[in-house]
Structure 1
Amino acid sequence: MLEYLNDNAGGVTAIFTLALLLVTGFYAWTTFDLLREARQSRLMASEPRVVAYLRANEVHSNIVQLHVANLSGAAAMGVTASISKLTDWPNPFDLDNSKILRDLKFLRPHEVLKFDLGVGPDLFQDDVPAEFQIAIAFQSLDGRAFSFDDKLRVESVEGHSHFQIYSIDDVARRLKEMTDALRSVIGSRRLRVETYDADDREAERRRWDEQRASIKGGDRSGDKKR
């Protein structure tokens, strides 16, 4: 065996050298792949994700709000947005060509900005909900550019089916609150409102004339006694 290896030392060396090259190449390829995945993970971790969607106001549920949110853990720079209505309604539409949306500039990680879009009944016409187009441009901290472009539909808002009648319910609820507040002040009694008319003015004028006459009469009797 030793004699065979000695006689074929060149071939054995070549075989082991080739095996070493294959192992080295495998480790080099694996290391490169790991570095590439690490780079992609680093880029994704520093990549902002700004989106827009519609939601109902948390306090007044008949008001629809536009939410501009950064869903990522990385900050977004140079944020600018624009929204336009694809339907002829609502009118007026205050966010059309809005300077506030154009100059958002910066969004912190997981920050959400909220803008009132319109009142529920105004967002429908002949039972057809309004539709909007929004475009957002933003950058990562290392200067990479991103964009978001989508259509926003009012029917995507939870509870939108009640928007057209909610305003009536809201008025009724407010009237009930006012009635309860008045009852707490005056109880169940009715308020009596008295008017001040021409007869009242004439009676008051006569009283003043009588008082002046009595004062003058008292002054004259005092002068006679003197």
Structure 2
Amino acid sequence: MLDFLNQNSGALTVIFAAVVMLSTVVYAVLTAFLVAETRRMRRAQTEPKVEVFIKHREEWINLIHAYVRNIGLGPAYKISFDISAESGGEGAQALIDDFTKANFFKTGLKYLGPGQEQISGFSQMTEKFDQKIESVLVFDVRYEGATGKQYQEKFRLDFSEFKGRSQIGKPHLYAIAKHLETIKSDIHNLATGFKRIKADVFDSEDRDRERKEWEEHHAEVIDKSKESAKNGS
């Protein structure tokens, strides 16, 4: 065995060097992948992500808003909006007019932090329903991240997705709020004397009268018992 190693030491050295070199190359490639992945993760943790969507109010399904929300982990700066109608005619224009009553759609937003959102003006879907429900709006959104990197995204909002939606009953939080408001009103009326509690009062005079009636009834029962005893004898 030693003779074999001595005779082939040169070849074994070359093979060992090749294995080391290959391992070094593989390690370098893996390190490069890890560095790239780390950079992507760090970028994802600091990048903003602004989205625009439409949603009806929980307490009233016919009122609809456009929401602007930053779902990224970094803040968004210098946000601007360009809203156009892809289809819908007068209904689409009515939606744009209603939404842009919130002035930030015209002036833009200087800052929108992670998780923050802004809500547009509301639009009443019962007005021009047939036209509004066929409308398609396009929101072109531009903004910057903390590093100054610029972003641009387009959101195509198709209102026909709301066809056939309905709501049964009232949302729980809304119903609780209404009941609390009623309780508050009742307590206020009692505290201010606007309304009085209806109650039957049982005072000392009532107790004396009740005791007297009981004593009279008891005496009457005793008298009847005595008369019955005499008649029996």
TM-score range, shorter chain: 0.5 to 0.7
Q: CA deviation at 1:107?
A: 1.0
Q: Which amino acid aligns with 1:21?
A: M
CA distance in 1, matches of 2:142, 2:123: 24
Structure 2: gaps of 5 or more residues:
168-193, 195-233
Matched, 1:100 2:101: no
Please list the CA deviations of residues 67-124 of structure 1 after superposition, one character each: whole Å capped at 9, or x if unmatched: 0111122211221112233322246524469752142121110111111242112242
Q: Deviations for 1:126-156, whole angstroms, at most 9, x for unmatched residues?
A: 6853332211111221122222212212333
Paired AA for residue 100 in structure 1? F
What is the alpha-carbon root mean square deviation over aligned residues?
2.9
Deviation of residue 8 (structure 1)? 2.9
> What's the TM-score, normalizing by structure 1?
0.61
User: For 2:67 and 2:29, how far apart are their aligned partners in 1?
Assistant: 45
For the Cα contact (< 8 Å) 1:63–1:116, is it kept in 2? no
Which position in structure 2 is the counterpart of 1:154?
Answer: 159
Distance apart, 1:57 and its partner CA: 2.4
Identity of aligned residues (%): 23
- In structure 1, the gaps of 5 or more residues are 163-184, 186-226
Q: Would you say the 8 A contact 1:123–1:154 is kept in 2?
A: no
Cα distance between partner residues in 1 of 2:130 and 2:10: 90
In 1, distance between residues paired with 2:102 and 2:34? 46
Question: What is the one-letter code of the residue matched to 1:16?
Answer: F
SS of corresponding position for 1:129: coil
Change (3 A) 1:72 1:38: same
The aligned runs of 1:1-226 (5 Å cut-off) are 1-85=1-85, 86-90=87-91, 92=94, 93-95=97-99, 100-101=104-105, 102-125=107-130, 128-157=133-162
Distance 1:94 1:9, change over 3 A: same
Question: Secondary structure of the residue that 2:44 maps to in structure 1?
Answer: helix
Q: Structure 1 residues 110 and 76 mapped into 2: Cα distance closer, same or farther (>3 Å)?
A: same
Query: Which letter does structure 2 place at the counterpart of 1:53?
Result: F
